[in-house]
Structure 1
């Protein structure tokens, strides 16, 4: 029943993708929840140079944000994603003893995500297409329409660009920077190039989506 309701609500590809994109972004609260632990880690390290203390503060704040979500019975998805990333970063930094390694998993994640999206475009399986599949109930039916594939490829490019920019800026700092300046630069870069870039990409995607009305064809029911 829920699938049928979605098909009725979204009669174009653009409307379906807009609805799914809205779910994929955490809104203002999601932006804050993603930034707070990184801000806390960066400030703590710069002021104390105590790696263990900085990691404890960052992880504790993430756990508190998760508890607040659960207590309010709101979706914890975005906090959990952030907590996992922070935990992995904490593991890297604690193993090497270098505070800048806290930011390495994020750099690697963006690089891997960019490569995966590029491959999806080249092979004509753009990742945004699966947002349409989640609405129609047919994960791959959208590939039968060249116009939809072309639209989804454009939208996937817009998701790919922020990942490339983050790696291009942060990787050289991680490779060649050292001490407090590198940690501060990476902290500022991660925050400034995190949700702001993502929101910019979302805005560009919505602009592209607002220019067309591609009919959304539901899957043909079996006889």
Structure 2
């Protein structure tokens, strides 16, 4: 079934607890130090310290540093905006801009009948490189992927609805809490909602090779 296939692919795409911690620590350090010192530069430096420590730990353990590197890029962008304006709340602008871009992208992908979750599923298909859009010929897969992509649309919209008013009000501490809560925990909640959709569904797979993979996941 399509649901079994997508559930298996989503499970491999979701990172672990360590990745979520690596993403959250720079924000925690930034907010705490800013609340104590009210100095943006000091808070920015503090946010970079855990990234450096976590990256070193990954390298020493010979593990993939992708989550730390992602956190490093996000932290660097946040630092640039905060230092440029001198306002701590501007550190959250890149994240909000990214959420807005994801919101637009996922919504357009549904309207264009190329739902974003469909690509996540298709990447695991052995024939993806030869025919990256071949999965669109599987109408049931497109329908299920569209329903799952709507969950992501709601997630990104929720982030903006919560964080934009806090940004406009200059609530730095609340922004930090919202960023963490609406990051990994909210993503896990979205995946849980997707899981409920997948558990309740029983859509047959049309493509034989996808059906075989789905059967292996049962």
Q: Structure 1 length as normaliser, TM-score?
A: 0.86
**Residue in structure 2 matched with residue 202 of structure 1 by the alignment:** 191
What is the aligned residue count? 204
Structure 1 distance, partners of 2:157, 2:71, is 20
**Residue in structure 1 matched with residue 164 of structure 2 by the alignment:** 171
Structure 1 distance, partners of 2:20, 2:133, is 31
- Note the C-alpha offset of 1:120: 0.1
- Note the C-alpha offset of 1:18: 2.4
**Residue in structure 1 matched with residue 214 of structure 2 by the alignment:** none
Structure 2 distance, partners of 1:19, 1:81, is 24
Match of 1:103 among 78, 92, 97: 92
* 1:47-62 to 2 correspondences below 5 Å: 47-62=36-51
Distance change >3 Å, CA 75–CA 217, structure 1 → 2? farther
* 1:1-223 to 2 correspondences below 5 Å: 12-136=1-125, 137-138=127-128, 139-175=132-168, 177-178=169-170, 182-213=171-202, 214-215=204-205, 217-218=208-209
Q: Which runs of 5+ in 2 are unaligned?
A: 211-218
- Match of 1:75, SS? coil
- Note the C-alpha offset of 1:86: 0.9
- Note the C-alpha offset of 1:63: 1.8
Structure 1 distance, partners of 2:11, 2:56, is 24
Q: Give yes or no for contact 2:135–2:141 (8 Å, CA) kept in 1.
A: yes
Q: Give yes or no for contact 1:16–1:135 (8 Å, CA) kept in 2.
A: no
How far does the alpha carbon of each residue in 1:39-70 deviate from its partner, in whole angstroms, 9 at most, with x for none? Answer: 11100000111211111111121121112112
Distance change >3 Å, CA 44–CA 167, structure 1 → 2? same
What root-mean-square deviation, in Å, do the aligned CA atoms of Structure 1 and Structure 2 show?
1.5
Q: Structure 2 length as normaliser, TM-score?
A: 0.88
